[in-house]
Chain A
């Protein structure tokens, strides 16, 4: 996992271990899943965790902040 490409931070809650990924140019859910889970085929885990902001797993926007479960 490249530290430069990945922006990680906790949530506002002081106990939250939630990992957040800010979408960069060229990112896809598959690539993000590969980065965090080592396996792109698990991209639906990220999609499901972000259904509140994502309507389609193939449509993510630069700057979107995605929860990584």
Chain B
């Protein structure tokens, strides 16, 4: 009888320990998930603009950890959630490298493209005053050049707005399109295409 009582007490103690341990892991997992959510939300605004795929992957990892937590697999949720800040750190390093690269490309475009388009504007302005176009330029081609220039100027304004809004990738992509269009207009007009616009 005494043995039975002892065994019962022992079982109650073990069950208590298990429950306490389980509850402790649950609390740790909750804290880790909150910490992971916080680092992600801090990095998200800029990451969405520059490394959208990477922020999606980190968010997917967070959702996976939450799912495990929801199913009661607290240890796995804890482990996954604890790995997230490291992933965010890697993403931020990648974001910085990408941002530096895009900023350098943008700076180059911003220094060169307006100058290139000014040359085109000047030539289009003079040719518009001409009584007869040069032999290598038909009226149709001249109209094509004028509309190409208008489009390039409008798109350049869009690119500048994107840059101001922190959308570096978008700004550079539009800037490169403007560069290609401006190069086409230069060719139509029989003007030299600068080396920087050929790459």
Contacts and interface: CB of A to CB of B under 8 A. Distances in A.
Contact of A42 (B111, B120, B122, B130): B130
Interface in A1-27: 1, 8-10, 13-19
B3 interface: no
Contacts of A14: 112, 194-196
Interface string B155-186: 00000000000000000000000000000001
Interface residues of B, number: 29
Nearest to A19: B191
Contacts of A69: 119, 122-123, 126
Contacts of A1: 134-136, 190
Contacts of B194: 10, 13-17
B70 interface: no
Overall SS of chain B's interface: helix
Contacts of A39: 129-132
B119 A17 contact: yes
Contacts of A45: 126
B197 A15 contact: yes
B126 A37 contact: yes
Nearest to B193: A17
A51 interface: no
A64 interface: no
A38 B191 contact: no
A61 interface: no
24 contacts: A1-B136, A1-B190, A8-B190, A13-B115, A14-B194, A15-B111, A15-B112, A16-B194, A17-B120, A17-B193, A17-B194, A35-B134, A36-B134, A38-B131, A38-B133, A38-B135, A39-B129, A39-B131, A39-B132, A42-B126, A42-B129, A69-B119, A69-B122, A69-B126
Interface of B: 111-113, 115-116, 119-120, 122-123, 126-127, 129-137, 186, 190-197
